[in-house]
A and B are shown apart, each in its own frame.
Chain A
């Protein structure tokens, strides 16, 4: 296999994959015509994309839901998620340093495994990111509603969460369509502020529940519901680890990718994993998982109120707003890049990669991110949104691990990663099995939606771009 190393074939509209073969160093990529493409995101920026995308969900949305399902053992669910994320982040890092291009997972899979898996992943990751964005927006709505009621506005009986989420979804889409200049820098500060709030809060809370400041809280049974819920909860909360692969979708913009991509991906997973586990520990110790579950998405606000008082509650509310905004925004941006990568390869109409003349933004790709998000926000069921997003990402993660094994076996001439996974068969093999395995623990409804999306993607590929060849093409 792999004798045909040229991209080729035509889709229904008669377009061929764009061959933008490039070379370059740590600071620029140089196109065939000799134009320079500046790499402008450093390690801090990369970490901030990864952490900024992930932290919104794990800390500010899931503690209540997860503790309700698994008890204090929800901390173990987050730890399982972290191990799987790391097992995928390592192979993803190697692939990303060998192919530092926009598109991330889709790109590696289409080049290593062929066009059909590539197309299925490319299209379903677009929709997977749409589900994730909708999930972040609904969570934003919960926090905004909580802030309103904190401020004394009476919102009881109104569908305020959905309305706020929709409104903000529209604002976010429009802002991105018009184009931003310094939002990425702002994101760095937001993530820095968030981490500060969390570290202070968790250190204080941790010492408090250990009995340093007051009476030690009564330890609850660690596994009140048995072992099985630990795994189903891990499947649910895996959405909190979806951010690290978003770093790979902007790989084309990362400076010194050989060093910064692996550091940003692995570093952001480790950072958020520690914070998640600590958060669950503090939250379940403060309240007991039964009461925690009744608080729902904004459970952390009540935890903060119990531990630090109203100031703490306000800090966490503010943190939750910032975190869900930064997650939603980072996902919209990754979605548009994912759409660009797929349409460049002629698997979607090439019009999707056009840049708007007035604002200089990829308006069609951005609309393909923002539009469906609004529909899903109206649908509004947080747990299903989160699980479908995880489902579609996990398929990609599993296939990325397979792609790594295939690449190492075929070793095409151009395959020269700066970062190499040690014991790659064991790591990537376990990563693939774990990723696919986690899917089995999801709710039936999420599994059906996920499979339906993948079948639809495969059908679209057969109908629209059955002749397109991508394997081995760089």
Chain B
């Protein structure tokens, strides 16, 4: 594993990545969930932690399920790990049996100190990435991630600032700051475009536009009334959108 690290983008490319991005990919492995080849190829430049999990009904002790399904889960997750290795990726695997998917994902994300996590959705060829910016976001982590994933130069990213009416959030400044940070990381300016709009409901606007793009990269969004009622915005977007969502974790 150690020698594979020398292939990380930092040394093969002109990028100046501060902290190599590390992604958590939770996969409901026994439900036959998988990661498409194009997404594997897109994500391979980052370090990847594959978490195969099985979400059990309350009636089933985790130990009981693990006795029956452990091997099957391991085989399935190893297959996916092999596809990442085939694409030149650096990948680790974990298996978990749980009654609470969110608790398990949060715990593993913290233990592995990952930069972000993937909420999978089907995707074809990946060319256009959108980064909706709706509030405070860890721009350093975001920039590390986007610059790394866009290293091969053929893909483009759109930074989209969304302000709500009467909001104090300065979307324009946030987009500008993000663009500069990406530029510092060595991402060529011609791969980046920006826009700003006023949104009534950012979540819905993002879902509606998701068909124009192939991957969504966004921040976690803080706690709040809407979050506790309807769940994380990123999860709601992943439910509604046609593109996979990469969520950048707050530090």
Chain B residues bordering chain A, tally (CB within 8 A): 27
Is there an interface contact between B96 and A102, defined as CB atoms closer than 8 Å? Answer: no
List residues of chain A with CB within 8 A of the CB of B56. Answer: 360
Is there an interface contact between B58 and A252, defined as CB atoms closer than 8 Å? Answer: no
Is B64 at the interface (CB under 8 A from chain A)?
A: yes
The contact string, 1 if C-beta is below 8 Å from chain B, for chain A 96-136, is 00000110000000000000000000000000000000000
Stretch at the interface among A1-9, A33-41, A214-222, A284-292: A33-41
Tell me whether A36 and B95 are in contact in the complex, defined as CB-CB below 8 angstroms, given that A344-B67, A353-B67, A355-B69 are known contacts. yes
List residues of chain A with CB within 8 A of the CB of B96. Answer: 28, 35-38
**How far does the Cβ of B164 sit from chain A's closest Cβ, in whole Å?**
32
Q: Which one of A34, A177, A354 lies within 8 Å of B95 (CB-CB)?
A: A34
Most A Cβ at <10 Å: residue of B59, B67, B68: B59
Is there an interface contact between A38 and B64, defined as CB atoms closer than 8 Å? Answer: no
Is A15 at the interface (CB under 8 A from chain B)?
A: no
Is there an interface contact between B94 and A181, defined as CB atoms closer than 8 Å? Answer: no
CA distance A33 to B52 in the complex (A): 14
Q: In the complex, which residue of chain A has the Cβ closest to the Cβ of B97?
A: A37
Give the contacts of B89-103 with A (CB-CB under 8 A). 94-100, 103
Is there an interface contact between A180 and B68, defined as CB atoms closer than 8 Å? Answer: no
Tell me whether A37 and B66 are in contact in the complex, defined as CB-CB below 8 angstroms, given that A27-B107, A253-B99 are known contacts. yes
Q: In the complex, which residue of chain A has the Cβ closest to the Cβ of B68?
A: A355
CA distance A265 to B158 in the complex (A): 56
List residues of chain A with CB within 8 A of the CB of B57. Answer: 179-181, 359-361
Is there an interface contact between B66 and A362, defined as CB atoms closer than 8 Å? Answer: no
Is there an interface contact between A179 and B97, defined as CB atoms closer than 8 Å? Answer: no
CA distance A471 to B60 in the complex (A): 26
The contact string, 1 if C-beta is below 8 Å from chain A, for chain B 166-181, is 0000000000000000
A-B contact count (CB 8 A): 102
Is there an interface contact between B73 and A183, defined as CB atoms closer than 8 Å? Answer: no
Q: Which one of B58, B74, B98, B103 lies within 8 Å of A179 (CB-CB)?
A: B58
Q: Which one of B58, B66, B68, B73 lies within 8 Å of A184 (CB-CB)?
A: B58
Is B122 at the interface (CB under 8 A from chain A)?
A: no
CA distance A31 to B97 in the complex (A): 10
Is A48 at the interface (CB under 8 A from chain B)?
A: no
Most B Cβ at <10 Å: residue of A29, A253, A344, A359: A253
Is there an interface contact between B63 and A361, defined as CB atoms closer than 8 Å? Answer: no
Is there an interface contact between A37 and B63, defined as CB atoms closer than 8 Å? Answer: yes
**How far does the Cβ of B96 sit from chain A's closest Cβ, in whole Å?**
4
CA distance A450 to B142 in the complex (A): 66
Interface residues of A (CB under 8 A from B): 18, 20, 22, 27-29, 31, 33-38, 40, 101-102, 176-177, 179-181, 183-184, 250, 252-253, 333, 336-337, 340, 344, 353-355, 359-362, 366
Interface residues of B (CB under 8 A from A): 56-70, 73-74, 94-100, 103-104, 107
> What are 20 pairs between A and B in contact, CB < 8 Å?
A20-B66, A20-B67, A33-B70, A35-B95, A35-B96, A36-B96, A37-B96, A38-B103, A101-B63, A102-B61, A179-B58, A179-B59, A183-B58, A252-B61, A344-B67, A353-B67, A355-B60, A355-B65, A359-B57, A360-B57
Closest 9 CB pairs of A and B: A179-B57, A38-B98, A37-B62, A35-B95, A36-B96, A40-B100, A361-B59, A40-B99, A102-B61
